[in-house]
Structure 1
Amino acid sequence: MMVTPLEIKKKEFRRCFRGYDDQEVDTFLDQVAAAIETLIKENDELKSAVERAEQNVSNYREIENALQQTLVFAQKTAQELKENVQKEADMIRQEARAAAEAIRHEAMQKAELLLEESRRKAEDINLQAHRQAEQSLETAHRQVDELLQEYRRLKWHIKAFRDKFRAFLEAQLELLDNQELGVTWNGQVVTANDIEVAEPEAGRTEPQPETRQLKPISGGKS
């Protein structure tokens, strides 16, 4: 049973013969009441401190639990994030490999198409060059044949011209052989048969006849 300081102060004892000194008892009771009151105050303060400490401990425990849960959640989130990052990295690597393989395959197809097109163009160019060479060779042969024909034709014309010119010269020579030349001397026509050629004297120069006109004599010797 708890006794309060007020109950101690108001406590009254029965009086008996040869009992305790009232003043001394009252003083002691006052001291006991004051001590108990002090103890009660200290106890209340300690209870308040304990309650505050328990409240703080409870708060700290709640904070600790929250931190623990946060830490667990953070660890779980970090693990999930790590796994997600790993999965995403694996997916990115797979996609990159697939893209690289697709690019390599497409590049190989383009290279094969370009190579095939280059081969086809080279064959077309070679065929065209061969055709042009054949055409050029055929044209050269035709031109050579034409030049040979032109050479033969010119050679034939030259031979014909020589033959005609030779015949003309022979005819002219024959005409010259069959004709007599006449000159006018002192108003008379003198033929070559009428001229006597005399040896000139030493140191003397014979006068030359003046030739005024030369006329062919018609009706010469046959």
Structure 2
Amino acid sequence: MKQHLQHPVFSVISKLAAEKNVQAYAIGGYVRDIFLNRPSKDIDVVVLGNGIEFAEAVAAHLNVKVSVFKNFGTAMLRYQDVEVEFVGARKESYRSHSRKPIVENGTLEDDQKRRDFTINALAISLHPGNYGELIDPFEGITDLNNKLIRTPLNPVETFSDDPLRMMRAIRFASQLRFRIDDEAVAAIKSNLQRIKIVSQERITDELNKIILSPLPSVG
């Protein structure tokens, strides 16, 4: 995987991870798109520790500005042609009336479990000790090869916690021409009414992405 980490921002993250004895991982869509041969300029980095503090250290090293979003526990910087968002590894729990999670510090595994789909739970280590190692606990690579949309946890739980994920599943199926796992399809049907707790703005955003996909009728 090391050949896919040639952008200079990765070497800076790796250097600071070693200096601060922090584990940091590229995770999510950037990693997924490596295997789909899709160019991506958005990099998500999960840190075992304080993601905001680590982002501020990276920004200081690169001499760039960092935007901090304390309510979400995230920070973002732009360097050359990429946008990098940092977050501390976390686990989430939900209340029935809201898709906004209660957040606690967690492990990498906790963070991967909270991801929407197995193909978005892939992580690559950026620490020099195991730089470039792929961490794939939910067989996301297999699902990519099989063109399958599947959730890391029980799909009923995944979609009930955050009903927007139902539309995201359909959107990814439409964009990538993937098939949604049968259990996930059943879970979408059983959770249809839960979409009411999602804002119209977020629903419209996903619907627009479906309409703009290569074959909208799939969605």
TM-score range, shorter chain: under 0.3
Higher strand share: 2
Q: Which of the pair has more CA radius of gyration?
A: 1
Higher helix share: 1
Larger relative contact order (Cα-Cα within 8 Å, sequence gap ≥ 6): 2
TM-score for both structures, normalised by structure 1: 0.13
